[in-house]
């Protein structure tokens, strides 16, 4: 796909020129320290093989303090990159995982366009702690809150003031984007900071992250019952995952009008695919061509969604998608629960934190009291005054009143084969949002599912897309996205050999899905989004 040009400025945003990079070393803002301001020449950085233009890289930190709980020094580290040729826009880049690292502020989204490359001023932060403090920062109450939402609130006025100092005026439009935990940050931003931003783009958003973390640990305990020792990957091997994927494709591939190794008709697939019936059961020993009855029981439980011992739901169910063959799916299901998810719960989401010794995390996960953990993420006390479900999740999740009142727009993109955050959860949220807004949620929020895509990217999928430009067009020109065009990453080694490296598909506004019409089966132009609500005028 061609790289966007910095000169492509839609009506509404006015370009500007950076005045003096080095002078920004003297930028002054409350509780903020600038540590450097240096010019980065054009071409030193690239995106999609194209040079990123000359810009100013400003680094600093704010709100430094010593915790009264663990005596650690905390501060919100950041970098901001301000292009010499500015397009009048500012972008907050929300980062993933447990944060803790100031990722380069390039504003790259979905393997497509880079905000910095097209002329946006971009900020990135560590959300209030260092990587060396992961996950133990969770014992500090303020570090929890910064990670959840307060770092964004503190950094936003700082970033806008830096823009004003660099260009002589503030941004005409402000945007926020991120994937995974960054997608959660973005949806929290749409709820808490809609007065500061005009548009939000969330990818694979873990907006119920505390629930998902507990569910992941619960899943590990299920896998352990059919695994070989402590190696959870043996619970469902690569060959066995392929057996499941083949069964899904056998039933569902052709439902969208084309047999192409993809399942576009996801809702129809849920009706025709039956895991127990369609996946072969072993008559004897496991040999990679079938699943034992015990394995099938565990797989069915995991896909149905985590529950307490009394049957209360902890987190969402997952759809059966052939993308479960990808390496990333296995990593999230079998490796992450023993380390990332168990540490996130043990230090950050549980109240009070269990703070298990880091070398004991796998044992901690496999022996965790799930009923107690499912309650703990909703608890607070005199020290931890907000529960994890309060400081991590968007407070206006099912209405987005502030976003509507401010005239903001939200785009959400999620892969159907995400192994940690379920598209079923995201679809359920969007349906509740639509119902709460008299079936008019698409006036301000649009959701797109990506068949086969794993967590944020990857998998047997067309997982590359330019969404930031569509968001800008919606916010500034009122051109609501009716669909996005997605294409394969030729460097993706998990793509089948018979797929064209030029394959593209439309991503449809939920609940519509892509159906083949006629023409080149490798081209998005040969498909049409169907099954959607009646089209409305652009807003």
Mean pLDDT of the chain: 95
pLDDT at 329 over 70: yes
Please report, rounded to a whole number, the percentage of residues in the chain having pLDDT higher than 70: 96
To 5 degrees, how large is the angle CA 132–CA 162–CA 144? 35
pLDDT, tens digit, for every residue of 109-139?
877 779 999 999 999 999 999 999 999 999 9
Instruction: Determine how many CB atoms are found less than 10 A away from the CB of residue 282.
Output: 17
Q: Which CATH superfamily includes the segment(s) 16-208+393-530? A: Alpha/Beta hydrolase fold, catalytic domain (3.40.50.1820)
pLDDT interval class at 537 (50, 70, 90): very low
pLDDT at 264 over 90: yes
The percent helix, strand, coil of the chain (3-state, each to 5) is 35, 20, 45
pLDDT, tens digit, for every residue of 386-411?
999 999 999 999 999 999 999 999 99
pLDDT at 535 over 70: no
Which three-class secondary structure state does DSSP give residue 72? coil
What would the mean pLDDT of 412-418 be, rounded to a whole number?
98
pLDDT at 2 over 80: no
pLDDT, tens digit, for every residue of 16-27?
999 999 999 999
pLDDT at 49 over 90: no
Task: Find residue 483's DSSP bridge partners.
Answer: 508
Instruction: Please say whether the dihedral angle defined by the alpha carbons of residues 423, 428, 429 and 435, taken in this order, is positive or negative.
Output: positive
Domain ranges in the chain with CATH number 3.40.50.1820: 16-208+393-530
pLDDT at 531 over 80: yes
47 or 64, higher pLDDT: 64
Predicted local confidence at residue 6, as pLDDT? 41
Predicted local confidence at residue 11, as pLDDT? 57
pLDDT interval class at 532 (50, 70, 90): low
Total-model pTM: 0.95
Taking a C-beta distance cutoff of 8 angstroms, is the pair 461, 418 a contact?
no
- Distance CA(187)–CA(425), nearest Å, equals 14
What would the mean pLDDT of 405-432 be, rounded to a whole number?
98
Write phi, then psi, for 47 (nearest 5 degrees).
Answer: -145, 125
The number of helices, as runs of H, and strands, as runs of E, in the chain is 16, 18
């Amino acid at each position: 796909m061609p790289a966007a040009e910095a000169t492509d400025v839609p009506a509404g945003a006015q370009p500007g020129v950076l005045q003096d990079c080095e002078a920004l070393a003297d930028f002054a803002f409350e509780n903020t320290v600038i540590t450097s301001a240096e010019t980065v020449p054009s071409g030193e950085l690239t995106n999609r093989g194209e040079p990123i233009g000359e810009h100013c890289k400003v680094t600093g930190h704010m709100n430094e303090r010593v915790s009264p709980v663990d005596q650690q020094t905390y501060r919100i580290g950041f970098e901001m990159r301000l292009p010499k040729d500015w397009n009048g826009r500012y972008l907050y880049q929300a980062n993933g995982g447990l944060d803790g690292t100031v990722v380069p502020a390039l504003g790259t989204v979905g393997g497509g366009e880079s905000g910095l490359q097209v002329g946006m001023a971009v900020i990135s932060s560590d959300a209030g702690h260092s990587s060396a403090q992961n996950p133990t920062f969770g014992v500090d109450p303020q570090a929890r809150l910064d990670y959840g939402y307060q770092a964004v609130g503190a950094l936003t006025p700082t970033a806008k003031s830096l823009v004003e100092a660099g260009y002589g005026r503030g941004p005409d439009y402000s945007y926020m984007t991120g994937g995974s935990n960054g997608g959660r940050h973005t949806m929290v931003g749409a709820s808490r900071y809609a007065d500061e931003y005009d548009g939000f783009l969330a990818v694979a958003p873990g907006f119920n992250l505390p629930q998902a973390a507990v569910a992941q640990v619960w899943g590990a305990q299920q896998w352990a019952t059919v695994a070989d020792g402590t190696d959870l990957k043996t619970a469902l091997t690569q060959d066995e995952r392929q057996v499941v994927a083949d069964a899904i494709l056998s039933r569902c591939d052709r439902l969208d009008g084309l047999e192409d190794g993809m399942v576009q008709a996801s809702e129809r697939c849920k009706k025709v695919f039956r895991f127990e019936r369609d996946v072969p059961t072993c008559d004897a020993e496991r040999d990679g061509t079938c699943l034992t009855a015990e394995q099938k029981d565990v797989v069915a439980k995991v896909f149905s969604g985590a529950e307490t011992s009394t049957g209360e739901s902890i987190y969402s169910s997952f759809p059966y998608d052939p993308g479960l063959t990808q390496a990333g799916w296995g990593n999230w299901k079998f490796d992450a629960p023993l380390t990332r998810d168990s540490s996130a719960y043990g230090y950050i989401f549980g109240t009070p934190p269990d703070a298990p010794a880091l070398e004991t995390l796998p044992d901690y996960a496999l022996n965790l009291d799930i009923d107690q953990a499912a309650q703990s993420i909703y608890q607070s006390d005199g020290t931890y005054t907000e529960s994890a479900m309060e400081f991590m999740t968007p407070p206006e999740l099912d209405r987005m009143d502030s976003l509507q009142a401010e005239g903001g727009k939200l785009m959400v993109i999620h892969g159907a084969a995400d192994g940690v955050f379920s598209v079923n959860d995201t679809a359920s949220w969007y349906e509740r949002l639509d119902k709460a807004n008299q079936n008019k949620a698409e006036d301000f929020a649009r959701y797109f599912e990506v068949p086969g895509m794993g967590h944020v990217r990857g998998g047997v999928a067309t997982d590359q897309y330019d969404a930031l430009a569509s968001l800008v067009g919606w916010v500034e020109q009122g051109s609501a996205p009716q669909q996005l065009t997605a294409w394969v990453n030729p460097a993706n080694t998990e793509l089948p050999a018979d797929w064209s490296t030029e394959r593209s598909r439309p991503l449809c506004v939920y609940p519509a899905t892509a159906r083949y019409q006629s023409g080149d089966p490798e081209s998005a132009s040969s498909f049409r989004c169907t099954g959607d609500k009646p089209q409305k005028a652009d807003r």
